[in-house]
Structure 1
Amino acid sequence: MDPAQDPLSQVFSLLEVRAARCTRFEAGGNWSYRFPAKPFLKFGAVIRGDCWIDFGDDAHHRLAAGDCFLMANAPGYVLANDEDLAPEDGIASFDWTQSDVARHEGRDTVLLAGSFGFEASDAELLLDALPCFLLIPSLSPSASIIQSTLQILDTEIRGTGIGAGVLTDRLADVLLVQVLRAALDQSAGEGFGWISALVDPRIGKAIKLMHEDAAHPWTVDVLADAAAMSRSAFSKRFKLLVGLAPLDYLLRWRMRLACDWLRRGATVSATAAQVGYSSESAFGHAFKRVYGHSPRRYWRRHAIGEKFLINPNK
């Protein structure tokens, strides 16, 4: 873990956030497709044309060319250009196992999509900070940057050049960060849990300190002083933005670092020392409080190759 990285980059590294698949959907005429719930992270973008995305209960959104969206733990939804059509099964209607491109009667409307996988035990750190649907409209200030990435991604999905899989994965990672940045800009940094806290000048500074030296015996008083706030004001704003008290956040950050050390093969005692615990017993109690089982059990399961992954489908 590089302490020089910014906190969001550190979190992405720890969670091993990685693109699982990128796809292209082309459609002409009238169409409507239903897709299952997405218990993970997925982005979508309209390259050409327009359509609707409908989550039910009047939660539907018009999508136009240049719009990009992010879904986190989203419920089932319908994607259509004709809301009066009965939706078909969007998975069964296409042979996704043979191609990353699905076609329906033309190319009047074109969408790109990509999904991401990561450690299931840490999924809430990222997913709980995001709304189930996040729209970045084509007229937003960040849209032109996102659209430039989308154009390259589109070319790679359709192409047959060597290394296309590597490029699409990297571009999807870039796009995810660009969308998160755009979302923070258009929301003035509010409403995205700890991600909002990262860009708050005072709370973000405290989080950066904890990330840079998690083993340090931080106290609320010291963190509040670093943020140039009173203890009570600091604690209140930290809890408002992050959803956790400062030392609860520190505990969970230490345990995520511990998981990373254990995954790399470090012993429990060495891991305990790395994250600021003088005894295995105290570390074990803290780890079990966060994850529900002992660090030794976690270490053994990873030693035999057993993973706790969210594996996105199509």
Structure 2
Amino acid sequence: MSRSSMNRSDPLSDVLTALGARSGGRTRLEASGDWSLSFPEKERLKLVAVLRGKCWILLPDHPPQHLTEGDVFLIGSAAHVVASDPELTPIDGAALYSESGRDVVRLGGDETVLMGGSITFASAEANFVLDALPRFLLIGGASGAATAVSRTLELLDGEVGRNRIGGSLVTTRLAEVLFVEAIRAYVAEQGDACVGWIGALADRQIGEALRVIHGETKRPWTVATLAARVGMSRSAFSARFARRVGRPPLEYLTYWRMLLARQWLSEPEADIARIASEVGYLSQSAFGHAFKRTFGHTPRSQGR
């Protein structure tokens, strides 16, 4: 726990790190003619770009969405079907990729080419991210918000299928960058329509409050001091924070402290007393009670 790690001010990066976000790999689909692939619900975030051609995506309780070259879409933990025609009966797409080491599926040609990258989470609290995002997000190829995504995608596509030194590491990191760029595009396009704490980052004052909480986690914050920090009255700040983030300010603060503490407890030779202090607790006992209320077990059990 270096001093720099205690002074973070990027909530998105902080949370992805605390939840053990990592690349779930990248996939590529090349297809022609009639085809339809189904994929099950899974606790991960998947970003897919249409590099060539067109296709349809179908989700439960969602109208079929037609996609064309240049479009990018983000899928949360939802079952979905990708197809050349929404009326076709799908086959199990996950099974096609289940063979060891297989990340490219070819179905008769390459009229349509899709590339995907996924982010998985080591933490059981993955819903903290998943619930803050829509089950489906389309970033249109004609949208200015898709520019950064497209640039990263071009780099990722350039690495696929090439036996270059460090290629696996490069594609993994680019997939992660692609995900972050998609979130940025989501916030830029949706603005106040964004839901959850990710959407709250787009709110000037509530976003600043989140950055303050993440940057000065150990400080003994109260609703009043947070409100004053962002130039709002206590009551207006509390109501707006809860509406935008989905949790009252101090509940969010406690939850973030516990996520951060759990991340540090996984490190070799973790010092519980020091971690308690670094997340704002003067008493190790008070820290232990807060941790158990959040996760159902003690900090000492977490470290085992």
Give the structure-2-normalised TM-score: 0.94
1:54 corresponds to: 58
> In the alignment, is residue 267 of structure 1 matched against residue 271 of structure 2?
yes
| Distance in 1 (alpha carbons) for counterparts of 2:260 and 2:101 | 38
The match for 2:210 is: 207
SS in 2 for 1:222: helix
Name the counterpart of 2:251: 248
Alignment of 1:159-238 (within 5 A): 159-238=162-241
Whether 1:280 aligns to 2:284 is yes
Match of 1:38 among 35, 42, 61: 42
1:28 matched to 2:32? The reply is yes
1:150 aligns with 2:153: yes
Unaligned runs of 5+ in 1: 301-314
| Residue-pair matches, total | 299
Distance in 1 (CA, whole Å) between partners of 2:122 and 2:98 is 28
For 1:4 and 1:103, locate their aligned partners in 2 and report how far apart those are by CA, in whole Å: 44
Check whether the contact 1:197–1:242 (CA below 8 A) recurs between aligned residues.
yes
Partner of 1:107: 110
Q: 1:289 to 1:59 in 2, by over 3 A?
A: farther
Contact 1:71-1:133 at 8 Å conserved across structures:
yes
Shift of 1:253: 1.0
Mapped partners of 1:159, 1:89: distance in 2: 28
The corresponding residue for 2:132 is 129
Q: CA deviation at 1:83?
A: 2.3
* Aligned-residue offset at 1:222: 0.7
1:12 aligns with 2:50: no
Task: Provide the C-alpha distance between the structure 1 equivalents of 2:154 and 2:200, rounded to a whole number of angstroms.
Answer: 31
Q: Distance in 2 between matches of 1:22 and 1:179?
A: 15
The amino acid across from 1:134 in the alignment is: L
Match of 2:301 among 294, 297, 300: 297
Structure 2: stretches of 5+ with no match in the other structure: none
> Could you tell me which of 92, 95, 107 is aligned with 1:92?
95
The one-letter code sitting in structure 2 at the alignment partner of 1:222 is T
Larger mean CA deviation between 209-218 and 102-111 belongs to 209-218
Q: Aligned-pair distance for 1:13?
A: 2.4
Per the TM alignment, residue 177 of structure 1 is displaced from its structure 2 partner at its CA by 0.9
The question of whether the paired residues in 2 share the 8 Å contact of 1:121 and 1:291 is answered with no
SS at match of 1:91: helix
Give how far 1:94 is off: 5.3
Q: Is 2:72 the counterpart of 1:73? A: no
Offset, 1:80: 0.6
Q: How far 1:221 moved relative to its partner?
A: 0.7
- Report sequence identity in percent: 46
Contact 1:96–1:102 (CA<8 Å) still a contact in 2? no
For the 8 Å contact 2:9–2:212, the answer to whether it is kept is: no
- Once the 2 structures are TM-superposed, how far is the Cα of residue 14 of structure 1 from its aligned partner? 2.1
Alpha-carbon shift at residue 15 of structure 1 (Å): 2.2
Q: 1:185 to 1:94 in 2, by over 3 A?
A: closer
Between the aligned partners of 2:121 and 2:191, the Cα distance in structure 1 is: 28
Deviates more, 1:219-228 or 1:84-93: 84-93
Q: Could you tell me the TM-score, scaled by structure 1's length?
A: 0.91
Moved more, 246-255 or 200-209: 200-209
Moved more, 145-154 or 41-50: 145-154
Query: In structure 2, what is the Cα distance between the partners aligned to 1:282 and 1:98?
Result: 47
Match of 1:310 in 2: none
Does structure 1 conserve the Cα–Cα contact (< 8 Å) formed by 2:8 and 2:14? no
Residues 146-197 of structure 1, C-alpha deviations (whole Å, 9 max, x = no match): 1121111112122111211111111111111110011111101432311122
